Structure 1
């Protein structure tokens, strides 16, 4: 598309090209100040990471643990706060969206006893929080909904969140959208987030790239936090 195009001159092909460029090549232009960043480790708990235990196991999340551990360790070295989220038995589960029970994600057709799942909210042992690190027990996909996360970030004087964890296309992307709507700058880890269906990883990254976040690899994130 020519740069000389003016209003009312955009063809269907022009706008399609613009859309594709944003999805595939877009890059948010905000600067990254490590002193204003916080790392969010979304739901890297046993139910999603422990192999073979639950129907919610995300193999891609297990595979990316070593990369995420490097980012966590680097953030700790750089005094970038690491904040975890988990699902657990909060308020006897009455704080969940009421419509959630109708969703296929509940696996109600499997007929298994799930009473041991999402009770303690234990982070996978290889990524265990330090004693002074915050764990947000959230009731729904996004980490900002019905939690003190925004207040915590404001009190820490942070304006940028780095999104990592699982699932890319549920809790991670919802948290990114909620952060964006609250005027936080969002960095979305391309290889430190994992989807239950690997085919959906890149499509979600494209959406993040165009309208919600600066999509970066683990190595790129580490290099930016110096």
Structure 2
């Protein structure tokens, strides 16, 4: 099954301000590992960037730019979005169809918002999803820290079977691509 790698919202305004997300630098390293493996296998890489109407993540602003530590190649695709769902009001599904993608690998930010929503939507659209279990992150919250949120979502999303397609959480070290 042909995969695509979706890197969600790893942007300067979300990663570079203090406090930073849980394991921010380590997550970026893991994402770079995944993007390198994907490119070597001829798998499409899509960098998805969230934008807001206000200054927080205004399109084109410094905060909206991809985080500087990411390794982005000229052939990678960039996609703009305005909701936690990377498919809603975007051409992501059309891109995946045009590449004959049959499954997606998801990583990025924020675990409990855009990563969760996009994972569920992909499965609802019929794509089996591999969640890069240690390559998504979020900020600590009052009710739980970033590690607890990541751990919870890895277990919860992997436990959903009602969509039909399987969602599985796999560590970066075990994630390899085949076209």
Contact 1:61 1:165 survives alignment (8 Å): no
Verify: 1:69 aligned to 2:6, yes or no: no
Q: Which position in structure 1 is the counterpart of 2:169?
A: 215
**Whose strand proportion is higher, 1 or 2?**
2
- Tell me the distance in 1 between the aligned counterparts of 2:6 and 2:57: 22
Q: TM-score, normalised by structure 1?
A: 0.67
Q: Which position in structure 1 is the counterpart of 2:163?
A: none
- Tell me the distance in 1 between the aligned counterparts of 2:4 and 2:133: 17
Structure 2: unaligned runs, 5 residues or longer: 141-145, 161-165
- Tell me the distance in 2 between the aligned counterparts of 1:153 and 1:116: 29
Q: Which position in structure 2 is the counterpart of 1:11?
A: none
Number of matched residues? 165
1:87-111 CA distances to partner (integer Å, 9 max, x unpaired)? Answer: 236xxx3xxxxxxxxxxxxxxxxxx
- Tell me the distance in 2 between the aligned counterparts of 1:165 and 1:178: 16
TM-align CA RMSD:
1.9
Cα displacement (A) at 1:159: 1.1
Verify: 1:135 aligned to 2:89, yes or no: no
Q: TM-score, normalised by structure 2?
A: 0.84
Matching of residues 87-106 of structure 1 within 5 Å: 87-88=50-51, 93=53
Structure 1: unaligned runs, 5 residues or longer: 1-32, 94-113
**Whose helix proportion is higher, 1 or 2?**
1
Q: Which position in structure 2 is the counterpart of 1:204?
A: 153
Cα displacement (A) at 1:195: 2.2
1:125 to 68, 75, 78: 68
Verify: 1:179 aligned to 2:133, yes or no: no
